[in-house]
Amino acid sequence: MRAALVVLAALAAAPFIGFGEGYVLTLLARAMILAMAAVSLWLLVGGAGMVSLGHAAMLGIGAYAVVVLDDARITDALVVVPVAMGAAALFALVTGAVAIRTSGVHFIMITLAFGQMAFFTTASLAAYGGDDGYTLYGRTTIGGQRWLENRLVFHFLCLGLLALALAGGQMLLASRFGRVLRAARENPLRVQAVGFSPYPYRLIAYGIAGAIAGLAGVLMANAAEFVAPSYLAWQRSGDLLFMVILGGLGSLQGAVLGALAFVLLEEWLGHLTEHWRLIFGPLLVLSVLFLRGGLVGVLRRG
Question: What residues make contact with other proteins under the rule CB under 8 A?
Answer: 171-172, 174-180, 182-183, 186-187, 189-197, 200-201, 204
Neighbours of 106 (CB within 10 A): 11
Specify the residue, 186 or 274, whose C-beta has the smaller distance to other proteins: 186
Min CB(118)–other proteins separation in Å: 27
Specify the residue, 54 or 178, whose C-beta has the smaller distance to other proteins: 178
Specify the residue, 151 or 182, whose C-beta has the smaller distance to other proteins: 182
Nearest one of 110, 206, 132, 151 to 20, comparing CA atoms:
151
Q: Cα separation of 181 and 6, whole Å?
A: 28
Min CB(256)–other proteins separation in Å: 21
Distance from the first to the final alpha carbon of the chain: 15
Min CB(211)–other proteins separation in Å: 13
Angle among Cα 131, 38, 201 to the nearest 5 degrees reads 105
Give 271's Cβ-side CA count (13 Å radius).
5
Specify the residue, 123 or 180, whose C-beta has the smaller distance to other proteins: 180
**Sign of the CA dihedral with 282 first, then 285, 291, and 297 last:** positive
- Longest Cα separation, the chain: 57
Specify the residue, 11 or 45, whose C-beta has the smaller distance to other proteins: 45
Specify the residue, 145 or 192, whose C-beta has the smaller distance to other proteins: 192
Min CB(166)–other proteins separation in Å: 16
Angle (deg, nearest 10), helices 176-186 and 198-224:
100
Min CB(201)–other proteins separation in Å: 8
Min CB(160)–other proteins separation in Å: 20
Neighbours of 282 (CB within 10 A): 10
Q: Cα separation of 243 and 231, whole Å?
A: 16
